[in-house]
Structures are given as structure tokens and as C-alpha cells.
């Protein structure tokens, strides 16, 4: 069913008067290329993506503007924030190109029908509540220092695993969103290709980066038909985005890349950090961090019965390993640990099912 927007003459005149800095009088509203059609209340209804022609007078001078929204589609414009990005791009670039139609303003329809101008924007911001708590990575740093676990450490790992069990239980039947998530995993600037493009040239040979990209794409192509797996996700579920308060009570921060995706995304983002801290402590997965890793992973697998996740997790692990091995984020990491992370990448790209009890073999030389 087509969604309609309502253009109220009074509110539209108020908005345009603010844009032009003086009183304006609307003479006609119509769909571009059609005759004026008003409903019984004098309000113009038009569908998303249908341009609306507005004819008005300003200081007795006749003017005409086109007000246009963007229709949602399955090409990366499914949500209002996607369409906002595209329209902001249009507003920012139209006037820079010779002979291009000029953009006058960019605005937003509010829920009460008001039109609000954003044309003088510089940077967008978000306001959030302040949350008390200690970042989870602090716990991992303490374990790294002490080489020992407390009962609370184990309970926290289980609580984080249970949280993913809970949020991933919400499914959605939308094949395009699953494929979009995989497409973004490969090509987004914050994901696999964005990381590869920003690797220091002297750190790893280009042919090896090419091989990583090629094999990641093959894995993504292999799993792209598993669209039934689409579920609610966090999207950046790592220890820096979790604040623990008392006991196992925690708050998550900085949800990224949308509401829906592949459960393996969240599972890989957290679990690879147990491997990462263990590499720093022991040079392999063992001791306290191996216990946390297995607690986190096995609890999830037992409670979801999702063995298939081990067949799709490889490119998500590669993405996270590329972050951890990159000196942009971890400049003081030893050469040995970087090499083991790259061993992990190349080894898991050669398998079709990940084995949670075989991590150390994946960390070994290819």
C-alpha cells in the first residue's frame, strides 16, 4: 500500500516563508505533470517518490518549486535514514555541478505535518542518555594481567551470550535485507574492502590482500541464499560497546549498520576478542580466555541449536580480524600476534564449517 504525505497549505506557507525570509502566498499545489487535485480538507496528498509542484508568489513575483521525497526500495533505501543520506547528498552536490538544477533547501516532515528546514546544516548529532558502567574490555584487561578468572567473569560471558540468543530470536522475512547485509560486509567502507583499502602498504603484500578479498567474496556468494537466517542484530557487539554495572547487568552502546542482519556478525564480533586477548596473554587460545571463549560460544550454540552459524561465520570473523591486525587501531601489537591473526584469516577462509575447538590450529602458520 502506498504511503501518503499530507501537504497542508498553511504549514507549507510557514515553512517557505522561513526559507525565503519573508511572507509567501501559495497559489497552487499539484503533482508534477498533473492538474491540481485537492481533497475536501484542502490538503494535498502525494506518495513518497512523487514530485510535487508548488506555485507561489513572493513580493508579487511568481515562483515554482518542486518538493520531492524518495521512495523506499531494496537497493539500500529501505529505511528513512537511508533516504535521508541520499537526499543530503543531493542537496550538497546539485549546486556544485554546472548546468545542474539548483537545490533550494533540504527539510524533513515531522509527525504533526510541520516542515522543518535543514538547509543550513553543518554536522548532524544525536543526543543520548548518560549510562553508568565499566566497559567490558576493562574486565578482559584485568584477566590479561591476572591470568585468572572469577566466577563473575564466567557469568558475564554467559550473560552476553544469552543476550545474543534473545535478540537473534526475532526473525524477519526480508531476503533483500539479508543480501544487503552481506553486500555491506564486503563493500562498505567500515567493512572488509574498506579495511583492506586502508591497510599500510608495507604490512602485508597486496596479493595476499587480494586473496582475502577474493575468498571472502566466494564465501559471501556461497551463503547469500540463506536469507531465512535474517534476524535482529546489534551490528557492533564488542567489549568497547558494553558497559557493565552491578553483577551481570549491562547496557549496550553504538548499534551499527541497521537493525537486521546475520547472527554470526554479533557472535564473531564478541568472541574474537577472547582470542585476541588470549594471544596477548599466551600466544594462543588457552587458559582463562579459552574458558570464556568456549563458555560464550557453546552456551549460544546449545541454546539456539544453530549449528549452521558455523558455516556462515567465516567472513564475519575475517572482518573483525582485519580490524585487530591493523596498526591504525592497534599500533603496538607484536608482529607475532599480527601474523597469527592473518593465519587465522587465511585458514578459516579455506573451510566451510568453523570448529570452535580448533581455534589454535587456525592460528598456526598456513
Q: Taking residues 345-352, report their average pLDDT.
A: 97
Give pLDDT tens digits for 248-307.
Answer: 999 999 999 889 999 999 999 999 999 999 999 999 999 999 999 999 999 999 999 999
Residue 40: pLDDT over 80: no
Give pLDDT tens digits for 48-72.
Answer: 667 888 999 888 889 998 888 888 8
pLDDT confidence of residue 1: 39
Give pLDDT tens digits for 158-205.
Answer: 999 999 999 999 999 999 999 999 999 999 999 999 999 999 988 999
Per-residue pLDDT band at 115 (split at 50, 70, 90): very high
d(CA 261, CA 224): 12
Residue 225: pLDDT over 80: yes
pTM score, whole prediction: 0.87
Q: Quick one: residue 6, left, alpha or beta (phi over 0 = left, psi -120 to 50 = alpha)?
A: beta
Per-residue pLDDT band at 97 (split at 50, 70, 90): confident
Q: What is the mean pLDDT of the chain?
A: 91
Domain borders along the chain are: 4-117, 134-363
pLDDT confidence of residue 248: 98
pLDDT confidence of residue 47: 56
Contacts 24+ apart (CB under 8 A), 346-353: 346/208, 346/211, 346/212, 348/314, 348/317, 348/318, 349/212, 349/215, 349/216, 349/219, 349/314, 349/318, 350/215, 351/314, 352/222, 352/311, 353/310, 353/311
Percentage of the chain exceeding pLDDT 90: 71
Residue 44: pLDDT over 90: no
Give pLDDT tens digits for 275-292.
Answer: 999 999 999 999 999 999
Would you state the CATH architecture of domain 134-363? Alpha-Beta Complex (3.90)
Amino acid at each position: 500500500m502506498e504511503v501518503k504525505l499530507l501537504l497542508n497549505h498553511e504549514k507549507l506557507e510557514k515553512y517557505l516563508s522561513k526559507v525565503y525570509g519573508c511572507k509567501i502566498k501559495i497559489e497552487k499545489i499539484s503533482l508534477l505533470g498533473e492538474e491540481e487535485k485537492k481533497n475536501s480538507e484542502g490538503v494535498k496528498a502525494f506518495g513518497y517518490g512523487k514530485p510535487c509542484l508548488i506555485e507561489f508568489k513572493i513580493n508579487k513575483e511568481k515562483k515554482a518549486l518542486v518538493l520531492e521525497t524518495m521512495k523506499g526500495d531494496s537497493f539500500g533505501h529501505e529505511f528513512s535514514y537511508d533516504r535521508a543520506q541520499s537526499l543530503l547528498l543531493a542537496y550538497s552536490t546539485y549546486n556544485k555541478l554546472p548546468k545542474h538544477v539548483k537545490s533550494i533547501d533540504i527539510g524533513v516532515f515531522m509527525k504533526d505535518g510541520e516542515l522543518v528546514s535543514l538547509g543550513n546544516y553543518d554536522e548532524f548529532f544525536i543526543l543520548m542518555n548518560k549510562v553508568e558502567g565499566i566497559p567490558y574490555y576493562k574486565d578482559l584487561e584485568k584477566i590479561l594481567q591476572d591470568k585468572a578468572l572469577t566466577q563473575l567473569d564466567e557469568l558475564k560471558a554467559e550473560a552476553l551470550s544469552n543476550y545474543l540468543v534473545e535478540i537473534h530470536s526475532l526473525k524477519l522475512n526480508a531476503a533483500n535485507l539479508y543480501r544487503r547485509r552481506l553486500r555491506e560486509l564486503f563493500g562498505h567502507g567500515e567493512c572488509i574492502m574498506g579495511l583492506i583499502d586502508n591497510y599500510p602498504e608495507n604490512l602485508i603484500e597486496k596479493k595476499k590482500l587480494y586473496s582475502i578479498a577474493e575468498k571472502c567474496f566466494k564465501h559471501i556468494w556461497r551463503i547469500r541464499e540463506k536469507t531465512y537466517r535474517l534476524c535482529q542484530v546489534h551490528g557492533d557487539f564488542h567489549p568497547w560497546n558494553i558497559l557493565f554495572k552491578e553483577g551481570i547487568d549491562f547496557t549496550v552502546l553504538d548499534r551499527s549498520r541497521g537493525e537486521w542482519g546475520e547472527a554470526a556478525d554479533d557472535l564473531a564480533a564478541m568472541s574474537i576478542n577472547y582470542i585476541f586477548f588470549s594471544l596477548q596473554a599466551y600466544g594462543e587460545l588457552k587458559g582463562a580466555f579459552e574458558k570464556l571463549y568456549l563458555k560464550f560460544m557453546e552456551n549460544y550454540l546449545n541454546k539456539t541449536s544453530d549449528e549452521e552459524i558455523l558455516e556462515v561465520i567465516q567472513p564475519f570473523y575475517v572482518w573483525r580480524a582485519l580490524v585487530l591486525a591493523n596498526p591504525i587501531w592497534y599500533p603496538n601489537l607484536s608482529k607475532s600476534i599480527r601474523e597469527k591473526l592473518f593465519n587465522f584469516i587465511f585458514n578459516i577462509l579455506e573451510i566451510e564449517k568453523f570448529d570452535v575447538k580448533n581455534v589454535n590450529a587456525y592460528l598456526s602458520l598456513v
